[in-house]
Structures are given as structure tokens and as C-alpha cells.
């Protein structure tokens, strides 16, 4: 193998390493900072209408932006007093979720996704209750009047119908009034992962601008904070094209004006987004706040994200709230479809079909994702066998002329790499290849073609919720997590060594041969902390290629090498 071929192999390995760390080294750009502390939406919204002379009927659920101007009615209107006697919890259940609300503040205390478990095997609650005790609970309100905000988020609401347990589909209304201000939240639960929310605050004359917030972060709270920090995102924009930023990159409060179809947060496998009824009349506010968890031993206290949807309009704030898995079928069923939230990366044209075929194999042939990966890997390698056969033949031809190439290289070995005469050496080698009909890149083509499949499998295993906690055999209980005993990794490295020993070596250069022998170790380092399903794919691919190589070695004998030309007597060295 000449220097060109050598550089191609190194480039392949380096390219894959870059892809593996891309999402950590180069996170998406941060959202643009708002030009002022006031909500940016206020700059684009039309002026609020003058107050009506008749009281507006209380409706919806509201929260007012901090920077909104206080709206004092010309003549106070007395509202009927509606206050609860004690804090009660109401549970709403359907097949998808189990949501617990408290009449104290009319907020969510727990949101359990019933079909999923956390890393500890407990029911998956996407609400960080410990953080919310400090930062506030989901569906809390925010107004321009901080004192009123605090009062409403701790007030005792009256619930209709009364609990303690309601079965979806159902509508739950929570109302509080002290005679001067009335807050109202109406939550309509369906059979799936969506909840329609209408929130409002009225002084009897008009509705006040309002925000509804989800404080305390979101997602699988059983994961280590460091693991979540690298994956949790804030996203907003259209359902097909949206902006996203890693939550840890949000260093100060930001307000993003509408219009947008979606706005919210996600983690590796789950999504929590507001879907506003009036996309052009809302804004999205995001911030990060510290809190002190019990038994926290690190130097810096952790931060959690607060995402809020707000409006400057003097009317109820209405939206749908989707809280559920990033399952393609589930996301496609939402209006608008949210399947673009699952980003398969650069090679999505390979990764997405890989996932669909893998899921088909699992659903119709083998109800085990580990064996489905094995079977799909065999199919891919059989489909690529003609290319591999071409690779072997190219390698055998290069091995046959290796003595001549070695002689040419020896002739120019005294020159430095950047010496112009080195270029002449490459020209002689290329001329030799042309005379023998050899494509020097032919041996690398199958390896390059495997790169999209390798990266595609990486993205599928990294993002597909179907692979979350999917077992294979023995101690491997989660194909999306690393193999902590490194058995698969060790077998992968061994099979790479075996495959290299069986494959024709295209170079006689000892240094290049040593480089080839290091490649399994290099790949072992790269695969050290990746999903065990990806290691299973590469290991299986090695085993299939070993079988193919045995067949090739028996069916296609190795050609005899072409002897290097002898030097004439008396020729100078």
C-alpha cells in the first residue's frame, strides 16, 4: 500500500472518531439573545385593546410576563370568591400516563409515563420533584406582578370534578378567586400523550398577560446529572425546521418571540413541548436556575431548565402540551407531526431505513433487538459481498506487485517527504498500477462504504427509544448502554486481528504492516464507551467477513508475486 492508500485508511478511522464526538465537541448554536429584558414578543405584538366596560367571563389558564406593564382597572369589579379548604391531589390516568396534580397552585406534582421505566427500574417520572420544590412545579403561572405570581402558585384552587382519581378522556377545571383576581386552568386529557390547557387570570374587566411554565427540568431523573447535561436540549420553531440548543449552554434568561409551532425541552428519549393554539401570539422564555439537592457533594450546585410559554394578548393562553416518548409512530400521530425531533444526523438517509428495517425484523421475525441486529448485519454483509470480493482481488493484485513497489520506494527512501523527487516516486508507482490494471483505492472502497452504516447504527442505537433497555442475552440488558464487562469489546478486537491475519496484506513495508496491526486496538479505544448494540454490530460484521474470507481463500488462489527487477552488474546503489 502506498502513501495515498495509507492516508485513506487513516482518514477513515479519524473521520469515524470525529463523528463519534461531533455532538459533544460542536453543539448546535445558542439561540439569539433577546435585545432587552422585556419579552421580545412584545415588540411584535399589536397594541392591547382598551378595557371593556363589562367584565370578561373567566376562562382559561394564564401567566403574565415579568416585564409586562401592570394593568389596573379603572373601576374594580368584585368577583365571586372561590377558594379551596385544603390541599388535595388529583390523579388523572389513561393508557399512556398517570398525572398527579395538586389543588395548591393547580400544578403538576408528578407525570409518570406508564409504559417506561427509569434506570432504577421504577416507573418513569419526568418531573424532577426535588428540584421543583425549590424552582416551582409544572403548569405554574407567571405574571408581571411578582407578589400576585407567588400568591396564585400557592393558592388553594377549587377542582371540578373532584378527585381523587379521574379516568381520561376527561376535563378538569381548577379555579381560584380572592374577589379581586380570578385564576383558572382547564385541562382536557385525551387517551394519549397530549393534554389541552387553557390558562387565564382576570381582574373582572380583562384578562391579564400570562405565562405557563415547566420549571425544574425534564426527563429521566434517575440518570446522573452529567449524563443528562450532554443530551438535554431546548427547542423551538417549526415542527419540521426548528432551532435547538443544549440546555447547559443557556447561561442567562432568554425570550424568543413567535411565531412557532413547538417550544419546549427534550432529553435523549423523551419530549416535552408546548403546541400553541395561536402560534403568532405567543413567546417562549427559557432560563437556568440553581438548586441544592440533598446530599449533593459536588462543588457547583446543579442547574435545571425552566421553559415557559407566554402571551401579551389580553385573552386566555391556550395550547396543547405533549409529554411523551420520542417514538416515531407516536410523534407522527401528533398534529403537526413531530418526528423531525428525532435527528439521525448526517447519514439519516441510511440511519432511518436501517432503523425501519431493524424494527421490522424485530416485530415480524425475531422479538429480540440483539438478534435483530445480528441478522441485519448478516444481510448487510451479504449484500456487500461483491464489493468485498473486489476488495480482496484488488488487494491480491497489489500484493503481487508489492516487491516492485518496494523496489521503487527503496530507490527514493533517502529523500525527505516534502522533497519534489518524492512526487516522482508516486508517479512511478501509479504508472505501475496502471500497467497491471490495479485501482489503489479499490481495497479501501468497502471500508469507506461501511462508514455510513456504522454511523447510522450509532445514531439508531443512540436515539431510538425502542433500543432503550432492550436486552440481548445474558448480562446484556440494555443494547443502548455500554457493555460494562467488555466481553463484546474483547471479542470484537480479537475478530479484527483474525480478519487482518486472513486478509491479503497489500504492502511489504514493515511500518505500514504495524499500523494495520494497531487498527484493532484503535477501534477498541473508540468503542470503549459506545452502546453495546454498536459493538455487537461490528463484532458480527467481523465474524461474517471471516467466513467470507475463508470462502475467498479457498475459491480464489493467491497469485504469485511479480519479482522485482534485478539491478545490472556494476550499477550504482
DSSP H or E run through 113: strand 107-117
- Helix segments in 84-128, DSSP class H: none
The label of the residue with cell 446522573 reads 224
The label of the residue with cell 395548591 reads 104
Q: Is the peptide bond before 202 cis (omega within 30 degrees of 0)?
A: no
Tell me if 423 is assigned to some domain.
no
Examine the domain organization and report whether 363 and 271 are in the same domain. Answer: no
Q: Is the peptide bond before 161 cis (omega within 30 degrees of 0)?
A: yes
Instruction: Give me 95's grid cell.
Output: 393508557
Examine the domain organization and report whether 184 and 263 are in the same domain. Answer: yes
d(CA 49, CA 46): 9
Tell me if 561 is assigned to some domain.
no
Residue-range definition of the domain harbouring residue 312: 87-293+301-336
* Phi, psi (rounded to 5 degrees) for 237: 135, -145
Examine the domain organization and report whether 92 and 212 are in the same domain. Answer: yes
**Residue 571: CA atoms inside 13 Å, Cβ hemisphere, count?**
7
The label of the residue with cell 377545571 reads 173
Contacts of residue 356, defined as CB under 8 A and 6 or more positions apart, other chains included, come to: none
How deeply is 560 buried, as exposed, middle or buried, from its count of CB atoms within 10 A (0-12, 13-18, 19+)? exposed
d(CA 85, CA 445): 74
Contact (Cβ atoms closer than 8 angstroms) between residue 362 and residue 368: yes
Examine the domain organization and report whether 93 and 215 are in the same domain. Answer: yes
d(CA 184, CA 175): 4
d(CA 345, CA 459): 7
Tell me if 200 is assigned to some domain.
yes
Examine the domain organization and report whether 366 and 261 are in the same domain. Answer: no
Examine the domain organization and report whether 192 and 247 are in the same domain. Answer: yes
Examine the domain organization and report whether 152 and 250 are in the same domain. Answer: yes
First vs last C-alpha separation in the chain: 24
Examine the domain organization and report whether 138 and 179 are in the same domain. Answer: yes
- β-partners of residue 271 are 266, 324
Examine the domain organization and report whether 135 and 251 are in the same domain. Answer: yes
Domain count, the chain: 2
Which pLDDT value is given to residue 532? 93
Cα–Cα distances in Å, from 111 out to 128, 137, 165, 217, 421? 10, 11, 14, 13, 71
Examine the domain organization and report whether 126 and 267 are in the same domain. Answer: yes
Contact (Cβ atoms closer than 8 angstroms) between residue 446 and residue 387: yes
Tell me if 520 is assigned to some domain.
yes
Burial 225-264 (b: 16+ CB within 10 A, else e): beebeebbbbbbbebeebbbbbbbebeebbbbbbebbbbb
Which pLDDT value is given to residue 21? 52
Q: Name the nearest CA neighbour of 432 among 565, 573, 556, 559.
A: 565
Which pLDDT value is given to residue 502? 82
Looking up residue 267, the CATH number of its domain turns out to be: 2.70.98.90
Burial 373-393 (b: 16+ CB within 10 A, else e): bbbbbeebbeebeeebbebbb
Tell me if 6 is assigned to some domain.
no
Which pLDDT value is given to residue 55? 40
DSSP labels, 140-178: EEE-S-HHHHHHHTTSBPEEES--SEEESSEEEEEEEE-
d(CA 258, CA 45): 9
Instruction: Give me 149's grid cell.
Output: 405570581
d(CA 264, CA 233): 9
Contact (Cβ atoms closer than 8 angstroms) between residue 198 and residue 59: yes
- Per residue of the chain (573 residues), give pLDDT as tens: 444 444 444 455 555 555 555 544 555 444 444 433 333 333 333 333 334 433 443 333 334 444 444 444 456 778 899 999 999 999 999 999 999 999 999 999 999 999 999 988 899 999 999 999 999 999 999 999 999 999 999 999 999 998 799 999 999 999 999 999 999 999 999 999 999 999 999 998 999 999 999 999 999 888 876 667 777 899 999 998 999 888 888 888 999 998 999 999 999 899 999 999 999 999 999 999 998 887 777 778 888 999 999 999 999 999 999 999 999 999 999 999 999 999 887 778 888 899 999 999 999 999 999 999 999 999 988 988 887 777 777 777 777 777 788 788 788 878 777 777 778 888 888 888 887 777 766 656 666 777 787 788 888 888 899 999 999 999 999 998 899 899 999 999 999 999 888 876 655 556 666 666 788 888 888 888 888 999 999 999 999 999 988 888 787 666 665 665 555 444 444
Examine the domain organization and report whether 331 and 188 are in the same domain. Answer: yes
Contact (Cβ atoms closer than 8 angstroms) between residue 181 and residue 202: yes
The label of the residue with cell 406534582 reads 109
Examine the domain organization and report whether 242 and 377 are in the same domain. Answer: no
Amino acid at each position: 500500500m502506498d502513501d495515498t492508500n495509507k492516508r485513506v485508511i487513516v482518514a477513515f478511522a479519524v473521520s469515524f472518531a470525529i463523528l463519534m464526538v461531533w455532538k459533544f465537541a460542536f453543539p448546535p448554536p445558542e439561540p439569539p439573545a433577546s435585545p432587552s429584558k422585556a419579552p421580545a414578543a412584545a415588540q411584535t405584538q399589536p397594541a392591547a385593546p382598551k378595557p371593556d366596560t363589562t367584565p370578561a367571563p373567566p376562562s382559561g389558564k394564564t401567566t403574565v410576563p415579568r416585564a409586562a406593564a401592570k394593568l389596573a382597572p379603572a373601576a374594580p369589579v368584585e368577583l365571586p370568591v372561590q377558594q379551596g379548604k385544603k390541599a388535595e391531589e388529583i390523579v388523572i390516568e389513561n393508557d399512556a400516563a398517570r398525572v398527579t396534580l395538586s389543588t395548591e397552585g393547580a400544578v403538576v406534582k408528578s407525570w409518570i409515563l406508564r409504559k417506561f421505566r427509569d434506570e432504577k427500574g421504577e416507573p418513569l417520572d419526568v418531573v424532577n420533584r426535588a428540584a421543583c420544590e425549590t424552582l416551582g412545579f409544572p403548569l405554574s403561572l407567571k405574571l408581571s406582578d411578582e407578589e400576585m405570581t407567588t400568591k396564585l402558585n400557592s393558592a388553594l384552587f377549587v377542582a371540578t370534578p373532584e378527585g381523587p382519581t379521574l379516568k381520561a378522556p376527561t376535563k378538569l377545571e381548577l379555579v381560584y378567586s380572592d374577589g379581586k383576581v380570578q385564576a383558572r386552568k382547564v385541562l382536557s386529557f385525551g387517551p394519549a400523550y397530549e393534554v389541552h390547557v387553557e390558562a387565564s387570570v382576570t381582574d373582572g374587566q380583562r384578562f391579564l398577560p400570562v405565562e405557563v411554565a415547566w420549571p425544574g427540568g425534564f426527563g429521566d431523573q434517575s440518570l446522573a446529572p452529567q449524563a443528562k447535561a450532554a443530551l438535554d436540549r431546548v427547542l423551538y420553531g417549526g415542527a419540521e425546521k426548528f432551532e435547538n440548543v443544549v440546555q447547559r449552554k443557556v447561561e442567562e434568561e432568554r425570550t424568543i418571540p413567535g411565531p412557532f409551532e413547538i417550544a419546549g425541552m427534550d432529553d435523549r428519549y423523551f419530549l416535552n413541548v408546548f403546541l400553541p393554539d395561536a402560534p403568532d401570539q405567543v413567546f417562549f422564555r427559557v432560563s437556568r436556575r440553581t438548586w441544592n439537592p440533598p446530599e449533593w457533594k459536588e462543588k457547583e450546585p446543579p442547574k435545571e431548565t425552566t421553559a415557559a410559554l407566554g402571551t401579551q394578548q389580553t385573552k386566555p393562553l391556550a395550547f396543547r402540551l405533549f409529554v411523551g416518548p420520542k417514538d416515531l409512530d407516536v410523534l407522527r400521530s401528533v398534529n403537526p407531526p413531530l418526528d423531525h425531533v428525532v435527528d439521525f444526523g448526517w447519514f439519516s438517509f441510511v440511519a432511518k431505513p436501517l432503523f425501519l428495517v431493524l424494527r421490522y425484523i424485530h416485530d415480524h421475525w425475531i422479538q429480540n433487538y440483539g438478534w435483530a441486529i445480528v441478522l441485519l448485519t448478516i444481510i448487510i454483509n451479504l449484500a456487500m459481498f461483491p464489493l468485498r470480493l473486489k476488495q480482496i482481488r484488488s488487494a491480491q493484485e497489489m500484493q503481487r506487485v508489492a516487491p516492485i513497489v518496494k523496489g521503487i520506494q527503496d530507490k527514493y527512501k533517502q529523500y525527505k517527504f516534502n522533497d519534489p523527487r518524492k512526487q516522482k516516486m508516486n508517479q512511478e508507482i501509479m504508472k505501475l498500477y496502471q500497467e497491471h490494471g490495479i485501482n489503489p483505492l479499490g481495497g479501501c472502497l468497502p471500508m469507506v462504504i461501511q462508514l455510513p452504516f456504522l454511523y447510522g447504527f450509532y445514531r439508531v442505537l443512540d436515539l431510538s427509544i425502542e433500543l432503550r433497555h432492550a436486552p440481548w442475552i445474558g448480562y446484556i440488558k440494555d443494547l443502548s448502554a455500554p457493555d460494562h464487562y467488555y466481553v463484546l469489546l474483547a471479542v470484537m478486537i480479537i475478530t479484527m486481528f483474525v480478519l487482518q491475519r486472513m486478509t491479503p496484506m497489500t504492502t511489504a513495508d514493515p511500518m505500514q504492516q504495524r499500523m494495520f496491526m494497531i487498527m484493532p486496538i484503535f477501534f477498541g479505544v473508540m468503542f470503549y464507551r459506545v452502546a453495546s448494540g454498536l459493538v455487537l454490530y461490528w463484532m458480527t460484521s467481523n465474524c461474517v467477513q471471516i467466513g467470507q474470507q475463508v470462502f475467498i481463500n479457498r475459491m480464489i488462489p493467491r497469485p504469485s508475486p511479480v519479482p522485482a527487477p534485478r539491478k545490472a552488474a556494476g550499477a550504482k546503489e
